[in-house]
Amino acid sequence: MTNFADLGLSQKVLSAVTDAGYTIPTPIQTGAIPPALQRRDILGIAQTGTGKTASFVLPMLTLLEKGRARARMPRTLILEPTRELAAQVAENFDKYGKNHKLNIALLIGGVSFDEQDRKLERGADVLICTPGRLLDHFERGKLLMSGVEILVIDEADRMLDMGFIPDIERIAKLIPFTRQTLFFSATMPPEIQKLADRFLQNPERVEVARPASTAQTVTQRFVAAHAKDYEKRAVLRDLIRAQDELKNAIIFCNRKKDVADLFRSLDRHGFSVGALHGDMDQRSRMTMLANFKDGNIKLLVASDVAARGLDIPDVSHVFNFDVPIHAEDYVHRIGRTGRAGRSGASFTLVTKRDTKFSDAIEKLIGQKVEWLNGDLSNLPEPMESHDTGRRERGRDGRKDRKKDGDRGSKARSDHKSDTVRADSEAEIETVVERAESVKPARSAENKQAQNNRGDRPVRASNPANDDNRDRRNRHRRDYDDGPTPVGFGDEIPAFMLIAGKA
Ligand code: AMP
């Protein structure tokens, strides 16, 4: 068996690796580190969770020990598709580079230009960026790329999905041809292969997992659902509540808007929940993630972009609220659980509209996924949306606006509170703040009390607020939030409800 000491890494690096508690390199590390130290180009086909970050960080640290940075001329450049991944790589440099005095600059959106600019001015040994932000700095004339000796392109397939390839091509042209390139991708579709052929010279190919394989330790189930979001939300809640072993879960949606809607719904139903999507500012995202990692939030609703590659070691469950449109995303999502040989469970809500995507998933992973309670042909009749029924039809089936108006101020004020809450971004921020106030050192008693899966962490709260929430919840049928308000929601001005001529 290979040890870290056999790979050719410097003493400083080895000592930091030992301090991090790692003794045996993972296969991608064993395969990539020695040729990277010989300044060879690398084509690494590996998913997150395989130790791939250290497979480029450790040799880079060793190589960077010789030489020093000059102002505005970074020595190495790492491109990441998302801010979180970039921040995670920076954390890896802190951890393994603690015996080095290197300047690490993180250039990501959502952080002030000035601060980043100061780091560039001091001279960066390592520049870790999302492509857009790097080009912004470059266009402002704040940096010269002619000193870059090592270029790392991480998660190349994700870059492709996110439309970053033209940016990457532009950036690669700015960097000397003599550079060393380390290129990583979880999958190798033809476009990525072409890109690799263009960027790499005689690379060492290191492949550690069959592309598009899902871990054997993850139980996968499809769950039949009707297409309406409130139906799916009800199915999801039941599923979450039915999981005895649920420690924490990531719930994936395909769209940012759905992340916000689902987050709001689960929060209303009293689950301990946070959300992560690309439009949130950096501080909120990092805080949310930290709270999820620390267990202050049990459920994290996320989009693919935000969650790709996040290193959250022990997620017990993954729920796909939407079937991913790209089958590879399924593999990545499911890869959030069952990491490092642990067992995990995943559930994917499938509606009649989604069958072509679920078929594509089965084809990609080369296996049939079992249905939880019978497939789509066993689906009971859909629930009727109480909201829609209430607003549009009276008991005799006629349009009944007056009745709606007569529901009384109490009912209206209940709905008003929902509409006011519709500013999901602000709401997510509020939850971030709330989560920040939850101290990890909770009493054993409290922990016991919240032991029930998604239950909200017990914390000191204002009893008046709790009463209001209970009262609001009593006015809602448990199974249904109703359809997401569109436009004015229930606050439609009366004049807009006057029926038009047929
Ligand atoms: P990554 O694939 O880079 O996201 O790494 C996944 C996880 O594996 C991270 O938590 C790393 O800290 C951890 N890790 C990296 N290298 C090793 C190793 N040699 N042995 C055990 N864990 C490791």
* Joined tokens for residue 309: 């590659």
Assess whether the C-beta atom of 51 lies below 6 angstroms from ligand 1.
yes
- Does the beta carbon of 204 sit less than 6 angstroms from any atom of ligand 1? no
Cβ of residue 91 lying under 6 Å from some atom of ligand 1:
no
Calpha distance 480→302 (Å, rounded): 21
348: which strand partners? 222, 320
For the domain spanning 4-207, the CATH number is 3.40.50.300
What are the residue boundaries of the structural domains of the chain, listed by start?
4-207, 218-378, 389-497
* Count of beta carbons in the 10 Å neighbourhood of residue 479: 14
CA–CA separation, 37 and 489 (whole Å):
60
| The CATH fold of domain 218-378 | Rossmann fold (3.40.50)
Residues 88 and 52 sit within 8 Å (Cβ to Cβ): no
Ligand 1 touching residue 335 (CB < 6 A)? no
Residue 228, SS3 per DSSP: coil
**SS3 state of residue 148:** coil
| Residue 403: strand pairing partners | none
**So what's the pLDDT on residue 283?**
75
Q: CA Rg, the chain, in Å?
A: 25
pLDDT at 186: 86
Q: By alpha-carbon position, which residue is closest to atom 9 of ligand 1? A: 51
Give distance in angstroms: CA of 244 to centre of ligand 1: 28
Q: 144-169 burial, b if ≥16 CB within 10 A, otherwise e?
A: ebebbbbbbbbbbbbbbbbebbebbe
Contact between 480 and 234 under an 8 Å Cβ cutoff? The reply is yes
Q: Quote the CA–CA distance of 226 and 224 in Å, as a whole number.
A: 7
Name the residue of 182, 311, 342 whose CB sits within 8 Å of the most ligand 1 atoms, as the mutation to test its pocket.
311
Do domains 4-207 and 218-378 share one topology? The answer is yes
Residue 492's pLDDT is 45
Ligand 1 atom with minimal separation from the 17 CA: 19
What is the pLDDT, as a whole number, of residue 47?
79
Q: Which of 2, 19, 22 to mutate to test the pocket of ligand 1 (most atoms within 8 A of CB)?
A: 22
The amino acid at 50: T
Ligand 1 proximity of 57 Cβ (cutoff 6 Å): no
- Is the CB of 54 inside a 6 Å radius of any atom of ligand 1? yes
What region, left, alpha or beta, does residue 482 occupy, with left being phi > 0 and alpha being psi -120 to 50 degrees? left
Longest dimension (CA), the chain: 83
Q: What is the pLDDT of residue 420?
A: 31
Which segments of the chain have a pLDDT < 70?
Answer: 209-215, 282, 305-314, 339-341, 383-502
Q: Are 216 and 305 in contact (CB under 8 A)?
A: no
Is 313 near ligand 1, meaning CB less than 6 Å away?
A: yes
User: Residue 445: what pLDDT?
Assistant: 38
- DSSP string of 336-396? TBSGGG--EEEEEEE-GGGHHHHHHHHHHHTSPPEESS--GGGPPPPPPPHHHHHHH--TT
pTM of the full structure: 0.57
For atom 14 of ligand 1, the residue with the nearest CA is: 51
Interstrand relation of 249-253 and 104-107 (parallel, antiparallel or unpaired): unpaired
For 228-362, list the strands marked E by DSSP. 249-253, 273-276, 299-303, 317-320, 344-350
Phi, psi of 296 (to 5 degrees): -75, -25
Nearest-CA residue for atom 15 of ligand 1: 51
Residue 2 is predicted with a pLDDT of 83
- Say what the pLDDT of residue 36 is: 98
Give the pLDDT of residue 215: 67
